[in-house]
Structure 1
Amino acid sequence: MQIGKLHTMTDLHIPIIVKRSKKDGPVVLFSAGLHGDEINGTEIVRELIVQKINKPKCGTIICIPVINIFGFVNQTREFPDGRDLNRVFPGSKTGSLASQFAYHIVKEIIPHIDYAIDFHAGGARRFNAPQIRIVPNNKELKILSDVFGAPFTLYSNNIAGSFRNSCDKMNVQLLLFEGGKSVDINDKVTKEGVEGAKRFLQHLKMLKPKHQISSANKTIYIEKSDWIRANHSGMFHGLKQIGCYVVKGELLATISDPFGKVSHKLKAPHAGYLINVNDAPVVYKGDAVFHISTNLEA
């Protein structure tokens, strides 16, 4: 898909890979790279292509490994015009460069798809446990999330201007996958994404028999969550692994000065699962360092 040119006259050209079976069936989109620095999502979609998982038994599979190709080249979150592409949907034919691209995605791709998985990663040195995000009170998405089988599923409302919001308004059933961190590839996260996608396709009767399926996690549903913020500035020493369950008062990290004089303890304010961990070596007071569940689905 070619939308326009940059100021250097370089084409804004986004590769789209389409595989169609001779047998009719659903149309599924696997997309990544809305944020150009979230490379782990791109790796998941790449693996789906390399392993030929994107060749369906029936129906059609569309893969867009990198939507924001120039952000990917520069390893930046934003589109070339400085905007967050995932905040300008449904876009405008005469708007900013990002807005024009969002417009063409909405007009030329979304109307053709029935289901989608959009792959993302954490930003700002924060590592997300592999997780699916869905809107509350959508029974079909709940079933698809169970089928995908990520370690965690978070209920979260659609954000205005997001790709997910536009898909929802156009009756596309979309799972948003989060896993890993920006400018990084994590093999475990990649495997979770690929295996979940295979189970997703198997559920839709689109996966060819040659592809083996691993057992799904019994996903933990999280209704609400909070950020734990650094209580001091300094060198950050995280002590807990991503995805673990902690109890109130448990030591999560220490924050020290670089001169060996002071060390501050950071403890869990309540019990919950750690679904995001900051791995930055230096933090400032108030920085988000852990994302912890506060309410699990009964």
Structure 2
Amino acid sequence: MSGAAATPARRRRLRPSFAIGTVKVRAGSRREVSLPISRLVTGAEVSLPVHVLHGREEGPTLWLDAAIHGDEVVGIEVIRRVMAVLDARSIRGTVLAVPIVNVLGVMSGDRYLPDRRDLNRSFPGSARGSLAGRIAHLMMQEVIGPSDVGIDLHTGADRRTNLPQIRCDLEDPRTRELAEAFGAPVAYHAKLRDGSLRHAARERGARVLLYEGGEAWRFDEWAIVAAVEGVLRVLVHLDMVDADQVDVTPPERPSELCWRSGWVRARRTGIVHMDVALGQEVTEGQKLGELFNSFGKRLAIVKADRPGLVIGRAEAPLVNRGDALVHIGEIERPVGTQE
């Protein structure tokens, strides 16, 4: 066979370019795209930053997003580290990564948008709606719509910290499979909320994992590492990358499955001293901490109202009556036993 005749058989057929906004990203390449959102009063344009890695070979389309709430910065660093190890020339499929969704919230140091709307209650949004609605609509059209799987990165709210955990629909076999592949310490069955990114994406047919880990406005290294490793495991599970390409290892143990949870709340106003750490197993009635007044007199003992794992806790020492203190997740196995 002549060399000329053999060339077509050896030639690899490239995938079509990936269209996003007004840009087309060629197969086997990486592109940073800015999708226009709005203009400030000064006339400066505000844009949604999107990394696009479009592989040469066919595969799923997966999106990553972070900072839907402007104070949740852990996910920004997670995406930076994940994108640093991926190569568009070797991945199969396409990765879309949005490190900052709530651009204005991050710029102003606020969890919410300037109009005080919660972006994660504004999906699927509208092209002619509020600022939150327009950002949500842009995400749905350009990022979520073309995708098969998404990982939505979050942290605890203001002055709260969360144990690394995946929140998802554990009753859906495909989603549960992805959660198990991620390998967070806890996989929590969370109901869909109207207006959330996860709800709108599920309506479009995508499977979504919502990651929670760490505290607002902090780069908690343990939460960052857990998320980076989890994202890479999902990419390996989807056969988008090979395990040896990203140096990923299986989790030390399977995720604990959590179907119900509840917050233990302060019964008095005072200064709280916590005795439990994230990930600690507790039994019903166990002491979690104590409440004191400003003179140092003990006002109350904080006790667990159920057995389970501490999956979240308040970090602020000053609390008012009714404030959430410790989030306990009820796990599938009996507390104190090993699988």
Q: Determine if contact 2:160/2:315 at 8 Å carries over to the other structure.
A: yes
Q: Are residues 294 and 204 of structure 1, via their aligned partners in 2, closer, same or farther at CA, if it must alter by over 3 Å?
A: closer
For residues 119-268 of structure 1, the aligned pairs below 5 Å read 119-208=153-242, 209-216=244-251, 217-268=253-304
How far residue 281 of structure 1 moved from its aligned partner, in angstroms, is 1.5
Q: Are residues 249 and 53 of structure 1, via their aligned partners in 2, closer, same or farther at CA, if it must alter by over 3 Å?
A: farther
How far residue 81 of structure 1 moved from its aligned partner, in angstroms, is 2.4
Q: Distance between the aligned counterparts of 2:162 and 2:120, measured in 1?
A: 18
Which one is further off, 156-165 or 211-220? 211-220
Give the TM-score of the pair, scaled to structure 1. Answer: 0.95
Q: Determine if contact 2:105/2:112 at 8 Å carries over to the other structure.
A: yes
Q: Which has the larger radius of gyration?
A: 2
Q: Are residues 105 and 297 of structure 1, via their aligned partners in 2, closer, same or farther at CA, if it must alter by over 3 Å?
A: farther
Deviations 1:81-133 (A, max 9, x none): 22111101111121111111111211222221111101000102111100001
CA RMSD of aligned residues (A): 1.6
Q: Are residues 151 and 93 of structure 1, via their aligned partners in 2, closer, same or farther at CA, if it must alter by over 3 Å?
A: same
Q: Determine if contact 2:50/2:96 at 8 Å carries over to the other structure.
A: yes
Query: Gaps spanning 5+ residues in structure 2: where?
Result: 1-34, 335-339
Q: Determine if contact 1:224/1:296 at 8 Å carries over to the other structure.
A: no
How far residue 259 of structure 1 moved from its aligned partner, in angstroms, is 1.9
Q: Determine if contact 2:57/2:93 at 8 Å carries over to the other structure.
A: yes
Bigger relative contact order, structure 1 or 2 (CA pairs below 8 A, ≥6 apart): 1
Q: Determine if contact 2:166/2:186 at 8 Å carries over to the other structure.
A: yes
Q: Determine if contact 2:75/2:154 at 8 Å carries over to the other structure.
A: yes
How far residue 54 of structure 1 moved from its aligned partner, in angstroms, is 7.3
Query: Gaps spanning 5+ residues in structure 1: where?
Result: none
Count of equivalent residues:
298
Q: Distance between the aligned counterparts of 1:79 and 1:99, measured in 2?
A: 11
Secondary structure (helix, strand or coil) at the match of 1:25 reads: strand
Give the TM-score of the pair, scaled to structure 2. Answer: 0.84
For residues 6-155 of structure 1, the aligned pairs below 5 Å read 6-52=40-86, 57-155=91-189
Instruction: In structure 1, give the amino acid aligned to 2:246.
Output: H
Which one is further off, 61-70 or 262-271? 262-271
Q: Percent identity?
A: 33
Q: Determine if contact 2:192/2:198 at 8 Å carries over to the other structure.
A: yes
Secondary structure (helix, strand or coil) at the match of 1:36 reads: coil
